[in-house]
Structure 1
Amino acid sequence: MYDANVLASKLATAGGSRAEKTLITRDDTGTTTTYGQFFGNAERSAALLTELGVTAGDTVLVYAPKSVASLELYFGCLLAGAVYTPINPAIPMDDIAYFVGDAKPALIVSDESRRAACEGEAAGIPVLTINENDSGSFIDRRDSLPTGFDACPRAASDPAAILYTSGTTGRPKGVVHSHASLASNAEVLVRTWDFSESDVLIHALPIFHLHGLFTAMNVILSVGASCVFLPKFDRDRVLSLMPQATVMMGVPPFYMSLLDAPNLTEATRNMRVCISGSAPMLPQTHDAWKQATGKMILERYGMTECSMIASNPYDAERRPNSVGFPLDGTEIRITDMKTGDTLPQGDTGMIEIRGPNLFDGYYNKPEKTAEDMRDDGFFISGDFGRYDADGYLYVLGRVKDAIFAEAGVVMPKEVEELVDAQPGVAESAVISVKHPEKGNVPVAVIVGDAVNTSAVQSALRDALPAHKVPEKYLTVDALPRNAMGKVQKAALRETYADLFAGDLVA
């Protein structure tokens, strides 16, 4: 099925022989989509793309909420040879001009609420709509066309999709993934996490991001499994769905929320694995989940440029704070940030990655691509990490989040782990703030109930060198997070940039 198209053929091999099997059940409406219906609608989508003048290699910009029709469009783009390019629907409409200018799409697909904003920037580019309820002008035109589209031949090296980075420290960059990179990652994840056609996945993630789109859906399609499709995470709905599911992929706030739910132990009894990523999970969340359910969450490591990179083992010890081992075929080395030399096991340094899962480069940004790649094919991740004596990988944080103090580099995670262990602390974020006399200093931003910050400071002074002890301790109701649950330290740094403005001594 679709033999000349590398990624489409790999994703359709299992489901193509199960036309009557349910692929997706929408939780909000109960509507089901079989494999046959999914591939039929994808073929119609591809035919409409061709009718609209979209050709192989053209980008299709998708600025729409989560829907089954958007997934069918993703597969339709593969069949038509187009490059599926989703962006976060929460991005302000005023910013759409940047993405239109950068991606240079042949077609824009939005929902009705964003259509006028897109048309205002389209400059002759067609704009069609897909709404959250699977209606819209794209659907109307798609459904008037027959199935049976002949898939456009696509080689392993041809581009399949562009995903944009979050752009927390600059303009978002388009990350180009080939048919080969996405196919290889899906294949290795099926083996690593033991997926089969009998699995039922709870899908509560967004689909503009690699976690919900590639990690979840490509794996499900690859084995002919099923999923229950939620518009967004809803604790009570997820809890009610768990008894009929086998797998959940989520972000740490999902699991933190579920820990407060009644009957969690009974609800998770038949769940074979709960996978977490996109942001680091607190050790206390791991411990609380294990105590409540008797099961250990499987934490893994990925990033937009590399898809999934490492994972705790499915059938062996899973270690809190660790992301496990490199996936089959993926190499991960720890290097000296200044020299680039590989460091001994146990030393902290830059995580560098090489493997078939790597992106092809940043779209229209060859200089940035060259800056982030080594001559031997390793990608410089921007993450600090280390291996322990048993070969488990630990990701210690982004280089941009490290505190480069006068006495040495401070890794926020080292300090956060100690802060989080103090009475009353739910979680914390340690950030770098400029002090007029001391230079860059750590500041702890804490979420908790009746936290004694003096006691926290005393405990850290006993445990850490002086330059790693936070200069101040601030309590807040919640930490800012992005759509994938990652704490936005850039936002915290901006909020507290002037924290010490009045501390200059004349």
Structure 2
Amino acid sequence: MSSITEPAITVPDDANVFSALVAPARDPERVFMENADGRVIRFGEVASITARYAGLLAREGVGKGDFVAGILEKSPEAVLLYLAACRLGAVYVPVHIGLTDAEISHILGDARPKLVVCDPARENVVRAAGCNALTLDAGGTGTLIERSETLPAEHALERVAPSDPNAMVYTSGTTGRPKGALLSAGSVLWNARSLAACWGIGETDTLLHANPMAYGLFGTTTPALAGGATMILLPKFEVESVLAALPRATIFAGVPTYYARLMADPHFDQALCAGMRLFVTGSAPMRPDAFEAFTERSGHRLLDRYGLTEVLIATSNRPGDSRRPDSSGLPLPGSAIRIVDEQGEPVPAGSVGMIELRQPYPFLGYWRDPEKTAQSFRDGWFRTGDFGRLDEQGYVSVLGRGAELIISGGLNVYPREVEAAVNALDGVTESAVIGVPHADFGEAVLAVVQLSGEAKDFDTGAAIAALKRSLAGYKVPKRIELVSEMPRNTLGKIQKNLLKARFEGVFRG
């Protein structure tokens, strides 16, 4: 088990997220958020804008505990909407705007929100789902703005207990249909304050925010709020936009795909990154050679962290750590992590097992699924469904989802270990190792490979022969399939469920 001694992170008895994250005195003239189109919101404006939004939401029937869904492009107004919901003690449901109509309909039908605030382009699907709707576009206009601008600039704050729900976030659905995970106000506050403390976020910091709105609210936006940092919002990740804004930032958070694209641009160098303090990575594994290449190019070592929808960010390296490509750091202050076997017994340091977490404010459960909620806990520990290992110092290495574990001929194969060997082969840009049905072995190890543009003569047979020199025989892929591009979700994670569906029949017949 791993836990560390650090200053305690406290959550007040009145855990209204707005008052805890935004009410602390800030210079009213300092920039709170700057949008890509030049719109600026200053700290002194936040209270009055969110009060007007909260007044409108209340007029639409929203009260404490009611669900408010947001299907929005990124904008300062979209972040302020979340804070307005917090003022009321409502439960915010961020929905990624890039989902299909069918996916959005599923979430709205499952959550049944009291109100949906959506981009005008998605209003039809919201109305079709039978939901009450207000609109807000990327330019900061819509019925949310029109109907709230004449309302009072003050609105009472609802008292909220740490155990009251603050948000319901749907899982990314890389291994199945998205599920709603209810997060408490205590969890959101503790996580935001813990990350601000661990990363040293303060009022002199500027976060360059290029992550998706729905997925970047917690773990990116809320720690910046907790530390009082300024935020520069980009509508999405684009290399040119990031390079242009980077000299004015001190913190950038992204997935490995972002960093690979930055390094592919010759303008990304140490001079451009001279004012940066932290580059944070996570959500997907990063190749060790790419990790080291980033250090050489930028002059900074990436800071990896590990998180899940249900617990937000669970572990993180600290700025003072040496930071290895295979380490996602230590548990956040006041929490603990352990690695257990199939019977739930802790395993020795260095051994592989299932990752379990214990936090002061555990997630409240899956929406309308008490059975799955109960199955997710063991004696107060949350069963993440991921497997990994701890080193002697308590740093965690995450080896993948439990659902991705391959059992071939009765032996366990951990995909990330095989992927590291495949990625080291000349010409390989990225790989995904999956298990597919096999008549003899039950499951066979199969590597799906994306090649670099120069690797036109890649020989899969020679590659398998090379892997036999670095991996035990049962871990060596029995077949390598080449793809032009990996299927990914919005967070940059490879969608292995789609690869498994595509290649499940390769050993049949």
What is the match of residue 320 of structure 1? 325
What one-letter code is carried by the residue in structure 2 that aligns with 1:312? N
Q: Which amino acid aligns with 2:101?
A: M
Aligned residue for 2:382? Answer: 379
Provide the TM-score with structure 2 as the length reference: 0.94
Task: Please tell me whether the aligned partners of residues 15 and 186 of structure 2 are also in contact (alpha carbons under 8 angstroms).
Answer: no
2:259 is aligned to 255
Q: Find the partner of 2:336 among 331, 334, 344.
A: 331
The Cα shift of 1:103 comes to 0.8
User: Any stretches of 5+ residues in structure 1 without a counterpart?
Assistant: none
Q: Indicate which of 419, 433, 441 corresponds to 1:430.
A: 433
Structure 1 window deviating more from structure 2 (175-184 vs 125-134): it is 125-134
Report how many aligned residue pairs link the two structures.
493
Q: Which residue of 1 aligns with 2:163?
A: 157
- CA distances 1:151-202 after superposition (whole Å, capped 9, x unpaired): 1111111111110002233331111111111111111111111111000111
**In structure 2, which of residues 282, 285, 293 is the aligned counterpart of residue 288 of structure 1?**
293
Supply the distance in 2 between the matched residues of 1:253 and 1:274 (Cα, whole angstroms): 13
Q: How far apart, in 2, do the equivalents of 1:481 and 1:8 lie?
A: 34
Per the alignment, residue 407 of structure 1 pairs with 410
Contact 2:117–2:135 (CA under 8 A) maintained in structure 1: yes
Counterparts of 1:5 and 1:398, CA distance in 2 = 33
Contact 1:3 1:9 in 2 (8 A): no
Q: How far has the Cα of 1:236 moved from its partner?
A: 1.1
Does residue 351 of structure 2 align to residue 354 of structure 1? no
Whether 1:60 aligns to 2:68 is yes
Match of 1:11 in 2: 21
Give the equivalent residue in structure 2 for 1:469: 476
Take 2:280 and 2:361, find their aligned partners in 1: how far apart are those partners? Answer: 19
Quick check: 1:44–1:143 contact (8 Å CA) kept in 2? yes
One-letter code of the match for 1:39?
A
Q: Deviations over 1:482-506 (max 9, x none)?
A: 101111111110111111223xxxx
- The aligned residue for residue 51 of structure 1 is 59
Q: How far is the alpha carbon of 1:68 from its aligned partner?
A: 1.8
Corresponding residue number in structure 1 for 2:211: 205
How far apart in 2 are the matches of 1:244 and 1:173? 38
Q: Check conservation: 2:32, 2:40, Cα contact below 8 A.
A: yes
Q: Which amino acid aligns with 1:446?
A: V
Q: How do 1:91-490 residues align onto structure 2 when only pairs under 5 Å count? A: 91-122=99-130, 125-209=131-215, 212-264=216-268, 265-337=270-342, 339-374=343-378, 376-449=379-452, 450=455, 451-490=458-497
In structure 2, what is the Cα distance between the partners aligned to 1:458 and 1:90?
Answer: 42
Separation in structure 1 between the aligned mates of residue 48 and residue 414 of structure 2, nearest angstrom:
51
Partners of 2:447 and 2:477 within 8 A in 1: yes
Answer whether contact 1:5 1:152 (CA < 8 A) is retained. Answer: no
Q: Answer yes or no: is the 8 Å Cα contact 2:17–2:83 preserved in 1.
A: no
Partner of 2:81: 73
- Compare 241-250 and 446-455 and name the one that shifted more: 446-455
How far residue 89 of structure 1 moved from its aligned partner, in angstroms, is 1.1
Question: Amino acid of the residue matched to residue 430 of structure 1?
Answer: V
Does residue 1:87 correspond to 2:112, yes or no? no
The CA distance in 1 between the partners of 2:169 and 2:311, in whole Å, is: 11
Deviations 1:222-268 (A, max 9, x none): 22210110000010111121111111011111100010122322111
| Structure 2 unmatched runs, 5+ | 1-11
Identity %, equivalent residues:
39
Q: Distance in 2 between matches of 1:64 and 1:196?
A: 28
Measured against aligned partners, the alpha-carbon deviations of 1:24-70 in whole angstroms (never above 9, x if no partner) come to: 1112x111111122332111111111111111100012222222211
Could you tell me how far apart the structure 2 residues matched to 1:381 and 1:409 are? Answer: 18
Instruction: State how far apart, in whole Å, the 1-side matches of 2:392 and 2:262 are.
Output: 33
Task: Encode CA deviations 1:73-104: one digit per residue, 9 max, x unaligned.
Answer: 10000001110001111111133332222112
For residues 420 and 168 of structure 1, the distance between their equivalents in structure 2, rounded to whole angstroms, comes to 22
Separation in 1, partners of 2:468, 2:89: 59
Does 2:32 correspond to 1:23? yes
1:355-388 Cα offsets, whole Å, 9 max, x none, are 12531111121111001111x2100000000012
Specify which structure has the bigger relative contact order, considering alpha-carbon pairs within 8 angstroms and separated by 6 or more residues.
2
Tell me the CA shift for residue 5 of structure 1.
4.8
